[in-house]
């Protein structure tokens, strides 16, 4: 059994030796240590393993008797042994490259699942600021340290600068954020509604022909369950605000996408592209071609923001942007 122990100690020489000696006598092994300096005290966080039969209360009492104060002991998994800065860097990668929800990633990094705390004194609240000035709050029974607050804000600021956490329309009070996922038959109505909210120009860029609305059920069904590929959507709350079709056409993988006007220039097209590239790579594709109308410069910019090296060709008034998938990480079906 592993525990994370957080304790406040006097900032004096030898105090850690006293803690280590007490743990050694009790058969508790120290596997990890982080120091969060404060003045005039210091907060230490240790990951420890204990003998069979030990409880959270017993672990907390051991550290309190050895000179610690404000001791909290919570059960944790082996993931807590991973270096903290490495975990945060991986978190940034997951948000930017895999399209994960930044709120979900922060909850994992800060381990906010309700712990069995030996001496519960109420939840601490961590308030982080988004790019648009709105707040993202995270709460936890174990108080946050200044270092954790700084790390979390740095991660949020980094992904905010990349434009993946704040859409043009402010998320609802329920904290809805864009999520990229595969589509299914349950999305027929939402995909139809997305197209009805799009302008004539946006629809033309996607389909290269004038599109009659409202959309027929047959067409909507083909858009969410294509014959030779898969459909992807960007969902915010209960609304689908972006859609794309990844298809195998004449032995070549192609991707065509649409993002409704109010959500354009917020990085959603780039996230759809990255996800589509990962799914195409998983399906065995060596390259992927994005197809759009010849006048759609936004798609070219989105390809650049996604970090792809592309070959651009024109076919019958349309633009084909082909990118190699050699350095793209495959994404399994979710």
4-52 pLDDT, tens digit each: 898 988 888 888 899 999 999 999 999 988 888 776 788 888 999 999 8
Q: What is the mean pLDDT of the chain?
A: 83
- Predicted TM-score (pTM) of this structure: 0.48
- C-alpha span between 244 and 83 (Å, rounded): 37
Name the pLDDT band for 313 (thresholds 50, 70, 90). Answer: confident
pLDDT at 247 > cutoff 80:
yes
- C-alpha span between 197 and 241 (Å, rounded): 9
pLDDT at 166 > cutoff 50:
no
Within 8 A by CB and 6+ apart from 224, the residues are 183, 184, 185, 187, 188, 191, 231, 233
Name the pLDDT band for 137 (thresholds 50, 70, 90). Answer: confident
pLDDT at 171 > cutoff 70:
no
Q: Which domains does the chain have, with CATH numbers?
A: 2-80 (3.30.70.260), 84-161 (no CATH), 179-324 (3.40.630.30)
- What is the per-residue pLDDT for 288? 93
For the four alpha carbons of 148, 154, 157 and 162, in that order, the dihedral sign comes to negative
- C-alpha span between 269 and 230 (Å, rounded): 17
Name the pLDDT band for 74 (thresholds 50, 70, 90). Answer: confident
330 SS3 class: coil
320 SS3 class: strand
Beta-sheet pairing, 41-49 with 252-259: unpaired
Name the helix (H) or strand (E) containing 26.
helix 15-26
- What is the per-residue pLDDT for 296? 67
- C-alpha span between 288 and 231 (Å, rounded): 15
- C-alpha span between 37 and 44 (Å, rounded): 8
Within 8 A by CB and 6+ apart from 90, the residues are none
pLDDT at 294 > cutoff 50:
yes
Kindly state the average pLDDT of the residues 304-323. Answer: 82
pLDDT at 284 > cutoff 60:
yes
């Amino acid at each position: 059994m592993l525990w994370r122990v957080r304790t406040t100690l006097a900032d004096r020489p030898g105090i850690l030796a006293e803690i280590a000696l007490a743990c050694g006598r009790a058969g508790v092994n120290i596997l990890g240590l982080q120091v969060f300096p404060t003045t005039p005290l210091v907060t230490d966080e240790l990951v420890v393993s204990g003998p069979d039969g030990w409880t959270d209360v017993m672990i907390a009492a051991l550290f309190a008797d050895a000179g610690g104060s404000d001791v909290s002991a919570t059960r944790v998994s082996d993931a807590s042994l991973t270096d903290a800065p490495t975990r945060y860097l991986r978190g940034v990668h997951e948000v930017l490259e895999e399209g994960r929800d930044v709120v979900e990633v922060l909850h994992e990094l800060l381990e906010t699942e309700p712990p069995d705390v030996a001496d519960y004194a109420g939840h601490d609240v961590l308030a982080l600021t988004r790019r648009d000035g709105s707040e993202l709050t995270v709460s936890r029974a174990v108080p946050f340290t200044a270092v954790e607050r700084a790390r979390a804000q740095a991660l949020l600021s980094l992904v905010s600068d990349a434009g993946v956490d704040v859409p043009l329309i402010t998320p609802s009070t329920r904290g809805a954020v864009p999520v990229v996922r595969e589509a299914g038959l349950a999305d027929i109505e939402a995909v139809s509604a997305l197209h009805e909210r799009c302008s004539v120009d946006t629809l033309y860029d996607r389909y290269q022909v004038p599109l009659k609305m409202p959309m027929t059920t047959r067409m909507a069904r083909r858009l969410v369950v294509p014959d030779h590929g898969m459909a992807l959507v960007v969902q915010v709350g209960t609304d689908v605000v972006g859609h794309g079709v990844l298809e195998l056409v004449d032995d070549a993988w192609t991707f065509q996408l649409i993002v409704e006007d109010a959500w354009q220039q917020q990085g959603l097209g780039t996230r759809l592209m990255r996800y589509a590239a990962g799914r195409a790579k998983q399906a065995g594709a060596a390259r992927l071609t994005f197809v759009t109308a010849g006048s759609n410069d936004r798609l070219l910019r989105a390809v650049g923001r996604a970090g792809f090296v592309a070959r651009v060709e024109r076919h019958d008034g349309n633009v084909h942007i082909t990118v190699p998938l050699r350095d793209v990480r495959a994404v399994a079906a979710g």
